[in-house]
Structures are given as structure tokens and as C-alpha cells.
Structure 1
């Protein structure tokens, strides 16, 4: 299955898309990998969805990545005696550790870590920012606030803390149980960690997973922005989770942050996913708004590795149409005459490593000689990531003997992954590359390709060789 675009599409599964037939329709329409939201999926449902995805993968012969998205800490107020109360700007309202039902003056906050961490002057945003409070007095047991904006609060509404660094990790007991279930399947390729605040938040997941899954940090808190370079270094990928980020930061700051995060990840050679409300109106309508089309196009122009659909594919009325629309937007943008100039203007300097030097040379040779494809042999995926970082004009074919590597690379820009046996010698390496490029529809007899690999063959992290080859009349290497 040949995709005519470089950016990847990540589709969330849910009630509208949990059946195997629908998963296959989404894959054929353009979904390259699937997200299972552990906020809503039980362990049994997760295992069922994984089995269905792998069945679709086997029928279509293309590695499909699976992302398990951990819920993270959900901070909520308690309940009220009358379910909902009315407030006025300027009045005093208290959040405390008293478990009695709330009223117009106070409510129980079942999170001692918040009561201990909030300082005077900090903002507390309730119900996605519909109610804004400012802390005035804090004693570790209660927070006396002034109502800044908003007129009501009701049972179990969420609390956001844009100014407060909580002193606890991001993994809850539910997340630990979900992570154990995910790792036990041995079929999940990525785990997304919600509400990352600092690089230390990644340590526990790293210790538990021991490299069995890629770790994707969701950036949705201002505290993460303050230490973003460290977080990127310790993550395998990033997700720009614009929903919660837009609650805790000014909405007008989010587009600029999206660009900054996309470019920072490209410099580091880490995949980046742009997510949330990309085609929101397609939950209930068969076509998107013009603004949504522009939003998707902006992410593609910026060189994001992947763009994500949430409720559009999980619970919307038009999941297949949403995937098709997103794929069409991406393909059209990538054909735009300004696209290549924008992408290449952002090209980072190569790092002083052999893999970077080889990837840079491969791109330059491929573009100078107008080659049909860059073929990279990769066991761990590192060489593939470096090739993707270069954003070449020609397709990248990643050949790996390890199916888990091919699945994990399915999130990477421009990467067409094929599971192939390790070559036995250099001739077999060249013949295999030529044959796969031809059979996958990226080249024809007479075309030339460039191959990067490591000698001795099969040595992880030892990419040290480039080879230009012709595709012969029989699909093998020509003279």
C-alpha cells in the first residue's frame, strides 16, 4: 500500500470505529497508526482492539503502529449539595479538605497535593477555564480564592493549574495498571504519557517499560514548556496536545508554541504529533470548516511527523470521511509549490555523528541525481529516524528485519516501512533493496536508488555505507 504523502495520520479508535471492518476502512482511507485512549478503554477492550488492528495489518501487508494513551492524573473538585452553585466575580470561594458537600462558599478538593502546592497569586481554572479563580490564602489544607471570571461551578468539574508545579509524578495507580496491561500484550508500539511537567516524570515509565515501547510525551502544561529541551531529550516522541495546552495557556499562544515544538523536535530528530480539534466539526458534519482545513495545512507545512484525529474518528458520525479529508489536505499541501521551500528552510544542521553524516549525504545525492528513493536498512530504527529528520524530496524506504521497529517507525515523516529479512551479503542487500522499491511501486526498471546500511551487516547503530544502484529489468540490481 503506497501512500502519496509524507505526513502520517494517527486515528483514535472508539465507539464509532472499534469494529474490525471499520478499522480496515480507516486504514485504507489513510490511517497509518491507531490510538487507544485508556481513559475510556478497559483492558479487555484494549486487547480486542489490538487483535483487530493486527488482523487488518496481516491482510494488508503494511506495518501499523499502535499508541496507548494513558489517562494521567484527572484533577477534579468534589460534589455540591445542590449539584451546581452560582458565583459572582469578586466573591470569595474556598477549596478545602473538608469532605462535606459543597455550597456557594466552598467545595471539597480531594487532592492534597494541590492544597500543598498552590501559592497565593496562582490561578486555578475550573471546567476547562469556564471558571477562573485566583488563590489569595493557602495553608496546605485550604485555598481561599477570589472569583476572577465565570458564574457557576458544578459537581466533579476538572481543575487546571497553569502556575503550579505539583510535587507528585504523573502516573496514577490506574496508569500503572494500564501500563502493565499494555506491556503484557507485547503488541503496542507507543505509550503516550499525559500531563508531563518535567523530565523526571518520564523516569518511572522508562523503568517499567525497559525500552519495550516508545515513550511519547504529551505537552499540555506550561511547566513542560519551561523544560522542553530536557523533556525532548528523554522522550522518543512528542505530542502537541493543544486541548489542555489551550486551557492552561492563552489561546493565542498555542499556534506559536506548536511551531516551536515542531521545530525543536525536528532538530532533535524526534517525531512530533499535532493533535486536538483538527477537524472538530466533522464529528457531526461530512465536511470540515475552512478554518479547520487551514489548521491541518499549517501542521503539514510546518513539517509535523503526524497529525491526529480524536473524537472525529472515535465517536463521530463520519470517521472514514474525516480520515479521507485529512489525507487529501495533506497530499495537496505537499504538492504546493511553497511546501518544499518552507520545509527546507527549517532544515537543522546535522549532528557530528556517522548516522547524521550518512543521512545528509544520502539526501543530497538523492536530490542531486533525482534518484527514485532512499533505502535505509535499520534494526533499531535510529537510522530511519535520522533519514526522516532530513526531510528529503524523495521517498524513504525503511527495511527492517524486526516488525516492532517497522511498526514504531510508522509515525515518522516520509517513512515507508517494510519488514524484510536481514541480507546475507552486499549483493543480497542491493538486490533486496531494488526488488522491494520496484514491488512497492516507488521505482521501475532503469531507475536508480541510494542505499544506506552498516557493514558488517546486521550490526545495530553501525550505518557507515552508501551505495547507488540501478533497478534492473527483473527488479534486481542492474549493472
Structure 2
């Protein structure tokens, strides 16, 4: 049975929800869509291909049945360093005691196995080693052969396969692991919409991903860079020159760098993305307490609200929707916070990032919307470029973006303030675009007689990044 549309249909801020054991059923996915989920994140650090294929098929089935756009984000595991398999599955690290870190091949007899072969070669006395998302801390005291002797600074229970962070090292690891490459091929075959690269350190990491996608027939696949390493922060400008989208991955970023630096970095990254009209997702621990509780803490609600005030395109749920007890309630809570915050948003009008016609028209959008009471902005796009620039202007009217390309349709579903509509074919004439915009908006009850709308498009049609006109139009009877 088709669910009634969400009252948050025209919410500007998008919601990304990670799919996991708690949300992999048809009923929960339907409820999350109705609550406001726009993007489903598939975490390839967990699960096998059979599980992922079944999940992707189910997500597509439900979205099609609900006639609702749902974007599939494939999140690659990346070069994550992990602890090996421990005896009895865990060991207790006691503050002040010594432990030994060794390559995985020597773990049973020598100490705790780590799957980073260069640790002994690169480690220096005084270097920090963080385990299990920074909950456990070691400091290097000595290196002998392949064995790195550490003192426990912050103890606790260490379980098998937990993550290892080495903030002081510029790791000699490939940006794309063999597992990532296999996962990418699987994602292309399954028709995912966006691929997210983990632990990006430099722009070249993204170029490698783009080259791999092109070699496998997916050169038009949007790529997202996760900012979670100090090197990524240092190389942010170059990374933004290659990435289609950005994720402020506050979890590992807050482990690799001092946690007090993360709030300001979040604001700086979002602002730079807004300036360049690059969509940005704010992620990790947004409603962490809702893994176990039906309501978030006041601090979490403030955190989400501040990310929206900063200008984030989307807010993301991780464990809250993947393994939490209240996945639907968590989506509803993000939607409710956005509904309360968005009427009060006031963004600075930044200068155009590029001197091209689309950016110039984007600047005009801001001025026109400040003078005229517009019902909507309609744009026609082959690549999503026009909608991306319009979204970056952060105008108050909703942006209705028309395309005839499914991949572009799903891409635009991530963009702030954009409602994508998939057409069988795009109109080829100026008059045709006006007619389609008017008819579609009236049919969908997005506009009525007498409403003013703006129309953006390009003539000749079907020219990538060829937007060259803007038309003020009044809806007829």
C-alpha cells in the first residue's frame, strides 16, 4: 500500500540514513522514506555481496512503489588499519602496562597483530597509537625489529578487528584497496548512484578513483570525498577541485585530530563547499543516543540544528539507523529539527566561484528571489550542473529540477532545496520548457494560477553546462 506523502516533502535539508540490520526490512524502509529519508548509505565495511544486492533491490523496489526518489550511496571501506584476531576475541589493556604491536603474521607469539606492515619501520618513541575510535590510547616507547613496544595511556577492553589510528604518520597505503576495487565493480553492476571514497588524503586519491570508474564504463558516476584525515584538511582546496561532493566524517576526523578542532573545521569545510556549490554531508554521532533511546539529547538536537545553520546540504545517520532500536524515529527527528530551523536560515550571498553563464545566472537568482515572491524555480538539466549551482545559492523558493537521466535524477536528490523530477524526454525548445514547467508544477500541486516561477535552461538544448537563459513566468489558468 502506498504511504501518504510526508509533510516534509519540500524540506530543503536532505537526510542520509545508513542501512543495516535494524533497517533492512521492507516495512522499515517504507517508514523511513515516508519520514524523510532521501539517501540510503550502504556501508561496505560490513556485509557480503549477497546481503548488499538484496538490500539494493529492496530499496529500489520500495522507492519505485512509493514514486519517491531515493539515492543510493556506496561507502567504500578504504585503507582502514585494524587489529587482528585476538585470543578469546578480546584482551584487557591496563593503564601503565606495556604491550607489543607486531605484524599480523607474528601476532600469536609476539603481541597484538596490526595489519599495517610499515609500523615498525615508521614508528618513533613518543608516537601516539589510538585503538577502537580513540577510546584506547598507547604511546610508543621502543622499536626492536618488527616489534613496537608501547605503554598503555588509556586502558580498557580491546576486541578483535577494532580500528587503529596513527595520527602522526602519513600512511603508505593505497587510496583504493583491492577490496575497494572489487566493491566498485559490484556497485557499478548494481546501479548505485554515488561512490564515497574513505580516508582521502589528497586530490590524486580521487583521480585514481575516477580513472578506475572510467575504465569500468562509469565515468559519469559522482564521487564523494570523506574528510576524515589531517592530510585531507591540509589539501582541502585541491580535493574540492576534483570531488563532486564532500562528507565531513567527524568520527575519524575527531580521532586523528584533537576533538576540540572539529566544530570549527566543520564550519570551515561547509562554508568552502557552499562557496563552490559542492554538496556537503555532515556525518557521525548526530543523534548517537537514539541508538538506544527514543529521543535525542538536547546537545544532539543543537548539533543537528547548527549543521543546518552552517549550510550543510544533508545530515547523516550512521549507527542510529543501521543498528539502533529507533531508526524511523531518528529520521523523523532530523526532519523535525530541519523543519524548525529552515524558516530562520539566512545565508550570505557569496560571489560566483566561476565566471561562466550558469554561475552568472545563479547570482541573478539570488537577487530576483529577494525582490519577487516566487513559488518555485524550475530548471532543465542534462548533467545536474544547473541544479547544483542553483542549490548552492541557497535561495528560499524550492528548486524543481527536470532531467531525463536516472543517474542525474538521483544525484540531484542529494542537493539542498532541490526536488528532482524524471521525465521521459527533455523539451528541446524554449516554449517547450515553459509548457513542461507549468504543466508539471500544476499537476503536482506545486504551483497554481497566478503564481510566479523562474525557469532556467539552455538553448540549444542538450548542451552540457549550457544554461544560458532565465525567464520569469506567471502560471496561467
Is residue 454 from structure 1 mapped to residue 449 from structure 2 by the alignment?
no
Say which is worse superposed, 6-15 or 147-156, in terms of deviation.
147-156
Say which is worse superposed, 285-294 or 44-53, in terms of deviation.
44-53
Q: Secondary structure at the match of 1:23?
A: helix
List aligned pairs for 1:92-111, cutoff 5 A. 92-97=98-103, 99-101=105-107, 106-111=111-116
Aligned to 2:379: 376
List aligned pairs for 1:13-92, cutoff 5 A. 13-79=19-85, 83-89=90-96, 92=98
Is residue 164 from structure 1 mapped to residue 169 from structure 2 by the alignment?
yes
2:133 and 2:251 in contact (8 A); partners too: no
Q: Partners in 2 of 1:153 and 1:247 — Cα distance?
A: 16
Counting matched residue pairs gives 465
1:29 and 1:320 in contact (8 A); partners too: yes
Q: Secondary structure at the match of 2:133?
A: coil
Q: Partners in 2 of 1:8 and 1:98 — Cα distance?
A: 42
1:331-369 per-residue CA deviation (whole Å, 9 max, x = no partner) reads: 110123xx22xxx23635442111100111123213311
Q: Partners in 1 of 2:316 and 2:360 — Cα distance?
A: 31
Aligned to 1:116: 121
Q: Secondary structure at the match of 1:133?
A: strand
Q: Partners in 1 of 2:188 and 2:316 — Cα distance?
A: 23
Is residue 427 from structure 1 mapped to residue 434 from structure 2 by the alignment?
no
Q: Partners in 1 of 2:343 and 2:105 — Cα distance?
A: 59
CA pair 454-182 structure 1, distance change in 2 beyond 3 A: same
Q: Which aligned runs of 4 or more in structure 1 are off by greater than 6 angstroms?
A: none
Aligned to 2:281: 273
Q: Partners in 2 of 1:98 and 1:51 — Cα distance?
A: 37
> What displacement does 1:138 show?
4.8
Q: Partners in 1 of 2:162 and 2:311 — Cα distance?
A: 36
Q: Partners in 2 of 1:219 and 1:130 — Cα distance?
A: 20
List aligned pairs for 1:318-329, cutoff 5 A. 318-329=326-337
CA pair 450-137 structure 1, distance change in 2 beyond 3 A: same
> What displacement does 1:93 show?
3.8
CA pair 249-94 structure 1, distance change in 2 beyond 3 A: same
> What displacement does 1:86 show?
4.0
> What displacement does 1:126 show?
1.8
Q: Partners in 1 of 2:438 and 2:373 — Cα distance?
A: 16
1:132 and 1:147 in contact (8 A); partners too: yes
> What displacement does 1:101 show?
4.2
Q: Partners in 1 of 2:257 and 2:170 — Cα distance?
A: 14
2:12 and 2:416 in contact (8 A); partners too: yes
Q: Secondary structure at the match of 2:139?
A: strand
Q: Partners in 1 of 2:63 and 2:157 — Cα distance?
A: 48
CA pair 207-26 structure 1, distance change in 2 beyond 3 A: same
Is residue 220 from structure 1 mapped to residue 228 from structure 2 by the alignment?
yes
2:285 and 2:317 in contact (8 A); partners too: yes
Aligned to 1:288: 296
Specify every segment of 5 or more residues in structure 1 that has no aligned partner in the other structure, as ranges.
474-479
Equivalent in 175, 182, 200 of residue 180 of structure 2: 175
> What displacement does 1:402 show?
1.0
Aligned to 1:366: 369
Specify every segment of 5 or more residues in structure 2 that has no aligned partner in the other structure, as ranges.
none
1:63 and 1:403 in contact (8 A); partners too: no
List aligned pairs for 1:189-268, cutoff 5 A. 189-210=193-214, 211-268=219-276
Q: Partners in 2 of 1:247 and 1:238 — Cα distance?
A: 19
> What displacement does 1:77 show?
2.9
2:73 and 2:196 in contact (8 A); partners too: yes
TM-score calculated relative to the size of structure 2: 0.91
CA pair 151-6 structure 1, distance change in 2 beyond 3 A: closer
Aligned to 2:343: 335
Q: Partners in 2 of 1:138 and 1:179 — Cα distance?
A: 38
CA pair 101-459 structure 1, distance change in 2 beyond 3 A: closer
**Backbone CA RMSD of aligned residues:** 2.2
CA pair 43-102 structure 1, distance change in 2 beyond 3 A: closer
Aligned to 1:476: none
Equivalent in 451, 468, 471 of residue 467 of structure 1: 471
1:279 and 1:312 in contact (8 A); partners too: yes
1:117 and 1:165 in contact (8 A); partners too: no
2:352 and 2:359 in contact (8 A); partners too: no
Q: Partners in 2 of 1:373 and 1:277 — Cα distance?
A: 34
2:84 and 2:115 in contact (8 A); partners too: yes
> What displacement does 1:238 show?
0.8
Q: Partners in 2 of 1:291 and 1:206 — Cα distance?
A: 39
Q: Partners in 1 of 2:161 and 2:377 — Cα distance?
A: 53
2:93 and 2:155 in contact (8 A); partners too: no
Q: Partners in 2 of 1:442 and 1:121 — Cα distance?
A: 62
> What displacement does 1:80 show?
5.2
> What displacement does 1:292 show?
1.0
Q: Secondary structure at the match of 1:411?
A: coil
Aligned to 1:477: none
Is residue 7 from structure 1 mapped to residue 10 from structure 2 by the alignment?
no
